[in-house]
């Protein structure tokens, strides 16, 4: 079994793990001419196309206020298009273009390869337990029972 660093500190070990995963995904996304966050955005649109920009930002863990440059980059690459929301003049829907949709197989294949490598030899039970903890960590920001410093 691998040894955790810093006396098992959750924060430090998650940070190290995330940096390692960012490097792995970075090598994969570079072959697709995408940044990691652009990869996440396109992958999210593949799950549900036509999302509001603010919902899409939240889905990939980014602030809506800093999301425009990312959308601009994807639009310049002709991977997305913005369409006005007829019900709200201030809002736009984000859709994949044909070029964006054409990346589907390559993105799915890349993600599956990385995730299979990360799973390694983990049993189904161990992986399910890991996914349970990971889901909890993803939702941590909205957990009302977590009070830091109080």
The pLDDT tens digits of the residues spanning 12-55 come to 999 999 999 889 888 888 999 999 999 999 999 999 999 999 99
Tell me the two tokens of residue 19. 């940096």
Total number of domains constituting the chain: 1
Q: Is residue 81 part of a domain?
A: yes
Full domain range(s) for residue 101: 8-120
Q: Is residue 136 part of a domain?
A: no
For the chain, give the percent of residues with pLDDT over 70.
93
**Residue written as token pair 């697709």:** 32
Q: Is residue 131 part of a domain?
A: no
pTM of the model: 0.78
Q: Is residue 54 part of a domain?
A: yes
Q: Is residue 127 part of a domain?
A: no
What's the CATH code of the domain at 31? 1.10.10.10
Q: Is residue 104 part of a domain?
A: yes
How far apart CA 33 and CA 50 sit, in angstroms, is: 22
Q: Is residue 130 part of a domain?
A: no
* Backbone φ and ψ of 75, nearest 5°: -70, -40
Q: Is residue 93 part of a domain?
A: yes
- The pLDDT assigned to 1 comes to 59
pLDDT at 148 over 70: no
CA dihedral 133, 137, 140, 143 (to 10 degrees): -10
pLDDT 10s digits, 81-96: 999 999 998 889 999 9
List of residues 6+ apart from 73 with CB closer than 8 A = 35, 38
């Amino acid at each position: 079994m691998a040894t955790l660093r810093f006396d098992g500190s959750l924060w430090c070990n998650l940070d190290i793990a995330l940096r390692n995963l960012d490097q792995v995904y970075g090598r994969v996304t570079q072959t697709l001419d995408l940044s990691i966050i652009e990869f996440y955005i396109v992958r999210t649109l593949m799950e549900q196309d036509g999302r509001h920009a603010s919902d899409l930002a939240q889905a990939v863990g980014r602030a809506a206020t800093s999301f425009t440059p990312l959308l601009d980059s994807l639009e310049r690459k002709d991977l997305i298009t913005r369409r006005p929301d007829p019900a709200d003049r201030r809002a736009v829907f984000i859709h994949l273009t044909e070029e964006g949709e054409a990346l589907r197989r390559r993105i799915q294949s890349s993600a599956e390869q990385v995730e299979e490598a990360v799973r390694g030899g983990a049993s189904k039970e161990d992986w399910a337990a890991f996914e349970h903890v990971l889901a909890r960590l993803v939702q941590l920001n909205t957990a009302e029972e977590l009070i830091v410093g109080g």
